[in-house]
Structure 1
Amino acid sequence: MKEICRLENIVKKFNMGEEVTPLYNLNLTVNEGDFIIIEGPSGSGKSTLLYLIGTLLKADQGKYFFEGKNIDEYNDSGLSNIRARKIGFLFQESNLIQALTLRQNIEFVSKEKKIDSKELTDLLKKLGLDDRENFLPFQLSGGQRRRAGLARSIICKPKLILADEPTNDLDQKWSDVVMNLLVEKTKENSAVVMVTHNKDLIKFASKSYLLKDGSLKNI
């Protein structure tokens, strides 16, 4: 399958009173159709890795190629275009705009690409949100906000979906719905990179890794 992105010998450091290096000589290749799950405890650098793959952070050392081009060759506007057109983000916090309804939140994020209204309605129904589409974020439960965040991240059919603990706040029923929906996206030649501390979810992956001591180990 065609390569979407590749990380080579990535190092990321933070100075938090003392130097912390969550990512060290990390390598990862993501191809179309991949469902990559990265497991690890809190504080292991999983979210840092997602932010870096999503071009929200830059590595201190190493190379990152997106669709064959080194991201160091992009200016801020170019990176912003990649994020808007190619990457779907599902953060731990839903980050919904409080003044917009659930449906408006999803439509707002998809302003770069025209979306089919019926397709959005069908997606909301799949996620059990069709009767909540006109609710404001404060009227939604944590699980409903989480599912709204997922709808927002996939509605524009991004090449790469980055999911940070996507089943948090969800019961088993909705956890399975979310995971199967992500699997469905990989069959449409998108790729998913997901981080979690839940080992039970690894069964959904096509490739799985443990993030330990700054680098990835096969599970």
Structure 2
Amino acid sequence: MRVVPVGERACLVEVRDAVAAASLAVWARSAGLAADDIVPAAATVLFDGVDPADVAAALPGWTAGSAAPPGPVVRVPVTYDGPDLERVAEHWRCQVGDVVDLHTSTEFTALFCGFAPGFSYLAGLPADRTVPRLATPRSRVAPGSVALADGWCGIYPTASPGGWLVIGTTDAPLWDADRETPALLPPGTRVRFEAC
């Protein structure tokens, strides 16, 4: 673990993976670390509005192997009609219905947000169910597209280019700047997909 100052009032803490980053972010908030913002990512946590020395001094109180406490559950309805559903089934050597069954029986956890406002990186797929990204990304992926890449699941909140394998669609409002918490799936949220 390494603390990298980013100016006088911010720093990045490098950790081993996204699970550790989510755990550290939750711990830091519960420990009352006086940062303006704490943002987990794939292998770092950004602490903004705090002296990097204060972050470094607090870190020995965090146990790197500790899991973040479970967050609230959000149920997301999905129509499994994606253009890559059969490709995922072929990659997993199963039927399309098995892909839907595995996806709806898995509890995902939002570990961090990025790429676009409201795009959450959801962990939870078994290690043997990773899928490659498209060799050539699409120039436009429709908003609400539920997709897989590597070991992640995500939902495109707006139309954008993308190389993830699209398995379905949802009309869940992923980002709403007028909500108290604009992102529907902030870090720590548990996510259950339901076929509709």
Q: TM-score range by the shorter chain?
A: under 0.3
Please, what TM-score do these two structures have when normalized by structure 2? 0.28
